[in-house]
Amino acid sequence: MTNERDGLLMRIDNLTKQKDQFSQERNQLRTILNETDGWLHSNFSFYFISSLKKSWSESRRYCTDRGADLIIINNREEQEFAKKFSHGNEFWIGLTDSEEEGNWKWVDHSKLTSGLWRSGEPNGNRGENCAVSISSGWFDSLCNKAFRWVCEKSLW
């Protein structure tokens, strides 16, 4: 009887700790939500779709100054989400081959494994080292050109 009681008390203690942890995480998420005015939420990320145009590096700086980075498009659904809210405009994504021509990497340094390039893109070797997304897919562009951009801030 004592062992059973001790086991139940331990379980109650563990559940109380879990509840407190969930409460703390909920409060953190509420804080994030309150600080993300103008950002859109989808799945486990927040997105900011710009209405201004800047170079790739200026766009990235805008994002990083706000605890985010240029969008990393992991799948077609995320591409469609960003495309929908960009209203058909071209926008910078967090993809570049500026370190090594033809070796496309995301801003988190992960290597591009499969892309949503337009036919004939990337066409490289012309100093076009930054990726832009449009409704028909991605293309490589000169990084100093001005486009809108999409920032992504992960909840985790």
Q: How far apart are CA 43 and CA 31, in angstroms?
A: 17
The Cα 129–Cα 126 span in angstroms is: 8
pLDDT per residue as tens digits for the range 111-134: 998 888 999 899 876 789 999 998
Q: Are 40 and 49 in contact (CB under 8 A)?
A: yes
Q: 29, 75, 76, 65: which is closest to 149 by C-alpha?
A: 65
CA atoms of 112 and 147, how far apart (whole Å): 21
Q: Distance between CA 19 and CA 149 in Å, rounded? A: 39
Identify the pLDDT of residue 127: 86
Residues of the chain with pLDDT under 50: none
pLDDT tens digits, 102-117: 899 999 999 998 888 9
What is the pLDDT of the chain when averaged over all its residues? 87
CB 113 within 8 A of CB 75: no
Domain ranges of the chain: 1-35, 39-154
Tokens of residue 150, six digits? 């999409």
Per-residue b or e along 110-139, where b marks 16 or more CB atoms closer than 10 Å to that residue's CB: eebeebbbbeebbeeeeebbbbbbeeeebb
Fold of 39-154: Mannose-Binding Protein A; Chain A (3.10.100)
